[in-house]
Amino acid sequence: MRRNLWALLVVGVGSVAFAALALAAPQSSAYHLVKKVILGGEGGWDYLNVDTDTHRVFISHGMHIVVVDPDGKVVGDIPNLNGAHGAALVPEFNRGYVTNGRANSVTIFDLKSLQTIKELPLPAAQNPDGYLYDSVSKRVFTFNQRSHDATAIDAMTDQVAGTVPLDGQPEGARADGMGRIFVNIEDNSHIIVFDSKTLKVLDSWPLPCKEPSGMAIDVAHKRLFTGCQTKPTMVVVDYTTGKVVASAPIGEDIDSAWFDPGTGLVFASCGDGTITAIHEDSPDKYSVVDTIKTLVGAARMAVDTKNHNLYTVSVQYGPAAAATPENPKPRPSIVPGTFTLLIFARQP
């Protein structure tokens, strides 16, 4: 390493800048609840997604996708689905792709009109759940929990382009915009890396935590954020090396993670009724700045990275049924018609 005067000056300036960045960490996320909208209806729910061009929010609920505007007003519906997990949104081709876990298919719809175009069977997939769109390969990927693989769909032809074996149950996934896909493998606590064009697995990185679920990405600083359910932790991974560089505590039962580059905040949405907000002080230093109160069961969320609104959903729970030998830990009942959207915004 060269240690001349210019290098020392650069190091000095860099150290000052780094210290200033660390000191600039906010004292809170500045988020507050601005609206609570009862959407009603019956059935379970899963992923939310946001079209940042229109600010419409796509919410999976039972056998349909509810579409709302930024204020929570229902503006459309995608019906007749079969165990909808969520919708990959592809404005580039004016398409949306809903993963149908029960039917082992994808429902393709027009992103503007919300009209169904066709249902595409995925013959090799079992329980397509998670999803993402990769702009490099022009492919939508579904992550199939029971068949332990990913299916690639060509967004230009709406045809299946191939399958990637994943050697475990896939959960959250992200693309780096350079042709690499990263996916959490929940049952063996790894991140699998594969090429979006060749569909070849490139690497497998063990994680120091168990049951990784939600994943977020910071492409500017080449960092992955993986939320783990056992000993709830957000782990930060340098995705150029696969090394863990930081971690932070989060709530119980994480399912979704998002990163907003405009605010430098990483979010972990958890079923215990909290969203942990973590500030990226530097690529290798992170501070928990807020625990946002939501609703029990609100483990899924979406962040609109243009207006910075945060959306999550859950229901009101009633008492659980009596325990039986067959079901020693029954879940609480759901109060009918209480499916609710929470909208959080930053204080000016």
Q: Say how far apart CA 167 and CA 154 lie, in whole Å.
A: 23
Positions of E strands within 294-339? 301-303, 310-314, 317-320, 332-334
Q: 326: pLDDT confidence band, cut at 50, 70 and 90?
A: confident
Q: pLDDT confidence of 25, banded at 50, 70, 90? A: low
> Across residues 212-235, what is the average pLDDT?
97
- Checking 54-57 for CB contacts under 8 A at 24+ apart, the result is 55/304, 55/306, 55/307, 55/309, 57/302, 57/304, 57/311, 57/341
Identify the residue whose tokens are 């949405």. Answer: 269
Query: Domains in the chain, please, with CATH?
Result: 27-42+208-348 (2.130.10.10), 80-206 (2.130.10.10)
224-238 pLDDT, tens digit each:
999 999 999 999 999
Look at residue 1 in the predicted model and tell me its pLDDT: 42
Supply 104's token pair.
């082992």
Q: Positive or negative CA dihedral for 31, 33, 38, 43?
A: positive
Name which of 29-43, 70-84, 327-341 the model is least confident about. 327-341
Output DSSP code: residue 16: H
Amino acid identity for residue 14 in this structure: G
pLDDT value of residue 26: 73
Determine the Cα–Cα distance for residues 190 and 168; give it in Å rounded to an integer.
9
| Alpha carbon 343 to chain centroid, angstroms | 17
